[in-house]
Structure 1
Amino acid sequence: MDREQEEMQFLGLFGIYAESYKIILSWRKLFSQITLSLILPLSFIFLAHIEVSDLLFSKILHNELQLDQTQIGTKSYTHLSDLISSEWSYLWLFKFAYFTFLLVFSLLSTAAVVYAIAAAYAGRDVTFSVVMSVVPKVWKKLMVTFLCTFFAFFAYNLVAAVTLIISIFTIGFSNLGLVILGILSILYSIGFVYMTVVWQLASVVSVLEDLYGFKAMMKSKDLIKGKLWIAVVVFFKLNLSSLVIQVVFERFVVNGEAFGWLVRAGFGVLCFLLLFKLFLFGLVIQTVIYFVCKSFHHENIDKSSLSDHLEVYLLAEYVPLKAKDVQLEPFDV
């Protein structure tokens, strides 16, 4: 990262993109190794889930259609009923395995990319073996932050559901009721996006500071002030790009029998390449936004202090540093 800490606060949307791209190019070998070991499997899991889920669900729909046309009480009906129950069980087990592997590789990828960028910024001689030795230790903090975020989202959705039910029973679906429900939906969406942005930055905080869990989320909430709109725009652009890739994959690969296997294979490879590049770029952008927010709030990160903090991860016994060891006093501008 060539820019000084004081200059990071002036980066806008395109400046963040440019800085992220420069970081990837400057450390292309390291990021290539991280991509091959973590981000490629993550991308494969994401796309394979779409294909396998479609196959399993198609079988269930086909068997349910046959069940509707089969006389109740016959052996065929019992057999189809048992088969459908088994297929639903397989589908839910597959979903559980998918989300488990997706979570693991997502957190591992986040830990690896954030640590690599921070080490490069601190001027440390970082290698792939060093990054991978640190990842398991950082991953534990990220998992705690994720669980706290999951609890926060669960509580948020629970409150939203209760509010929706109360609104429906008290106001109904009159013209005024529909307007109020529309307003509530907009407010819910705004809150959901805000919490997601806070969570993404909290993941970086969990790696680079001694905070994790709810404390990392609170720190992230404070850091994002003043740069919220940039973070939100980045969030929408990355998720829109991911959605486009997913739609193309479903259209031309999953449901692309009419295009032939060659076209389907070509689009499959294209989506795979675009997706892992998007995942890598998104993780780098998250880290750059962290440095931008720190600079914006005049919380200078001294390179030597950051280097000492990163060194602790390499010790056999990891003892978290205090915030004062990682973060210096605010600097004057």
Structure 2
Amino acid sequence: MIYSHTPSPDSSYIRPHRRGKHKIFIGMAPGVGKTYKMLEEAYQLKQDGIDVIIGMLETHGRKETAMKANGLEIIPRKAFIHQNIALQEMDTDAIVQRAPQLVLVDELAHTNIPGSPREKRYQDVEVILAAGIDVYSTVNIQHLESLNDLVARITGVVVRERIPDYLLDEADAVVVIDVTPETLKERLQEGKIYAPDKIEQSLKNFFQYRNLVALRELALREVADTVEEAANTSNLIGENCNIHERVLVCISTYPDSVQLLRRGARIANYMNARLYAVFVANPEQFLTKEESLHIDTCERLCREFGGEFLYVKSKSVAKEIAQVAAVYHITQIIIGESQQPSWKRLFKGSFTQRLMELIRYQKIDLHIIATDK
């Protein structure tokens, strides 16, 4: 991230007209170290001469986190009266007026108290970004709007505070703070996440091992999807910079295609990959009724496996498969053993060799599966 010189805190400083940059630290659950990591990076930037302040910090009584904030300027919170109770929220106006280069905002999904200028903290962050101030923020994966139902099914907990998905899409950087479920449970039992009276209850509910495993996978997968989408819409798309594996099964009129498809589905499942199947039809040849029924069966089976079936026409099967692989960013291609007579392979060359030559520079793995004749 590139910053200009450290600004003077007086009102005479004029910030260049630009939108601030947003970096989000995301994790699978409370206690993984999002806030700690955010403070660590911010402190280093301050050492490098960057004007960094804390807009909102929630330590939840964690001593290590509180100590990490030492030496960083903190903007006082703004007091509100709600139902005769004095409460405090982040003072967005004071942050904008102070005009730092970077502000730290904890718990992005927080809901502000009634009477605040904006309902949600992420809306306050958008105001800060619009003022040309960079923001570091933190959030847990269960607060993402599109995952709300899934998280409820996994954990049995309905998350009330949520952020829209576009915040991750529009962020300039998203960093996953990842620890193993075992490490997180150890932190909880050592009293590093919640007070002692909440530890046992947390272990029996949200912090169950199976919940943590599922939430960790969600966090890693969500960020991988975000990075991959950004790569696919940038000028890197031609460089095959995929995050997810994609499996392509090559279907033919031979009966062994059903075996290939089942094998491809298993491989896709093991790799947590997207599944595709392709049949290349020669436009100058008509399929028999039996062959058409076979291709229909393969298509139905592919869809049952959750895959996408592609039916294309071309005289050059190998060339068309290579083209499909390039368009769909395939990383694994599955074909069956050649059933051509040996004399045809001798004079015309092996289909496998032609395909390997065509995909040589696409960084694709080719699986040749032995099937029943």
TM (norm. structure 2) is 0.20
> Which has the bigger relative contact order, CA under 8 A and spacing at least 6?
1
More strand by share: 2
In our comparison, the structure showing a higher alpha carbon Rg is 2
